[in-house]
Amino acid sequence: MLELKGVKKSFDSFTLDINLEVADGETLALIGPSGCGKTTVLNLIAGLAEAQEGKILIDKEDAGALAPWKRRVSMVFQDIALFPHLDVGKNVAYGLFIRGVSKAERRRVTAEVLKTVRLSGYERRRVDTLSGGERQRVAIARALASDPRALLLDEPFSALDTPLRRELWREFPDIRARSNAPGIFVTHDREEAATLGDRIALMDAGRVIESGAARELFLAPKTEFGARFLGAGSVIPCMVEGNSGDRVMVNCSFGRLAVPRGSMYDEERPLLFIPHDALSLTRQSDLSFSALVRKSVFEGERRIVELELPDGLRINAKTSPRTEVPAQDACQRWFINTVLLRFVRNSSGSSAATLHTGI
């Protein structure tokens, strides 16, 4: 178990203030905008930076009291950082060599982890003869070889081209299964976080804004920041008119809607989250609206359509790539699946207003 309890470190623009728990064998995807503190969290765990407050516990031991090399934390960097003067086998076994592990054991472990990352027989290869994907596999193998108590990965695939990244995404769960250490995978890529993380923690300005399973954060975010950053829908202001049975009646750019209970709203600034797939050109419900098609972007597996409502508000809809979308600036009637709508908290959090948890 990896635990960060009240860990703080001050910067000019914000103070990092983190509480996290990562279970053995679990991979937590840490995502957020550039400069929000993701890499700093890894550096604090690894001992490359020093916390001003709080505790970092690995298997209940206070890692903050240990020198970096005594923490048994493995870190994989974006720039790979292999030793160019060593062959693949010696790169992988380097941590074991430093710990004084016997030569025979180093060879055995090296062969095992290279097999895990699908590089069997590469022990004698020079690292400068490897492709980018092969070098990154070697870096991961080196991290796994030392049997770490925590596994930290800082955007390890971001420098690779898209097809190779996706190939490594598919391989990562099998590679990761070799180690039961708690792991944190830092990324700025939403799809990567959803694919590789058992859980996702979304950060902004040094704090975790919300966390949970990928499906929960993408399709049912709790905060305006989460809804906007993860990009799975649009956020619009509304006015709450009252309750009607198991529904909350609101007025918004679409008109009057009945939103299901089960989510929270802010009295002073209520906001609705509308998943991209809640809007359709084909009938999903009796509720519909007219909008101008301002842009249509084909993304291979889907098409994103930007719509402008009569009041000027712009939102996005997701359609099948085979859907015939009206021409730009054409007016089209769309249907709303209100079951998918939910409230989100505003960016200021609960301190800005009273939150109602009964709906």
CATH code of residue 323: 2.40.50.140
pTM: 0.87
Q: pLDDT by residue (tens digit) across 325-346?
A: 778 888 989 999 988 899 998 8
Residues 49, 157, single domain; the answer is yes
Domain ends where: 218, 246, 270? 218
Domain ends where: 218, 235, 264? 218
Helix, strand, coil share (%) of the chain residues, nearest 5: 30, 35, 35
Residue 198 predicted with pLDDT over 90 = yes
Residue 353 predicted with pLDDT over 80 = no
Residue 349 predicted with pLDDT over 50 = no
What does the pLDDT read at residue 12? 86
Percent of the chain exceeding pLDDT 90 equals 63
Residues 13, 161, single domain; the answer is yes
**Residue 77: pLDDT band with limits 50, 70, 90:** confident
Residues 20, 60, single domain; the answer is yes
**DSSP-derived secondary structure for 317-332:** EEE-TT--PPPTT-EE
Contact between residue 4 and residue 54 where contact means Cβ atoms under 8 Å apart: yes
Residues 200, 233, single domain; the answer is no
Residues 30, 7, single domain; the answer is yes
**Tokens at 180, concatenated:** 């039961």
Residues 244, 336, single domain; the answer is yes
Residues 132, 230, single domain; the answer is no
Neighbours of 327 (CB within 10 A): 8
Residue 186 predicted with pLDDT over 90 = yes
Q: pLDDT by residue (tens digit) across 47-67?
A: 999 999 999 999 999 998 999
Least reliable range by pLDDT among 91-105, 179-193, 244-258:
244-258
Residues 127, 270, single domain; the answer is no
Residue 32 predicted with pLDDT over 90 = yes
Residues 156, 259, single domain; the answer is no
User: What one-letter code names the amino acid at 253?
Assistant: S
**Tokens at 264, concatenated:** 């929270």
Select from 172, 88, 166 the least CA-distant residue to 128.
88
With tokens 């770490």, the residue in question is: 148
**Tokens at 226, concatenated:** 């989460």
Range of the domain at 198: 2-218
Domain ends where: 170, 190, 218? 218
- Total of domains in the chain: 2
Residues 185, 279, single domain; the answer is no
Residue 87 belongs to a domain with what CATH number? Answer: 3.40.50.300
Residue 350 predicted with pLDDT over 80 = no
Residues 230, 247, single domain; the answer is yes
CA 337 – CA 4 distance, rounded (Å): 40
For the chain, what is the mean pLDDT?
89
Residues 200, 328, single domain; the answer is no
Contact between residue 165 and residue 171 where contact means Cβ atoms under 8 Å apart: no
Q: pLDDT by residue (tens digit) across 284-327?
A: 777 889 999 999 888 888 888 999 999 999 999 988 888 787 78
Q: pLDDT by residue (tens digit) across 241-283?
A: 988 878 899 999 988 888 887 667 888 889 999 999 899 888 7
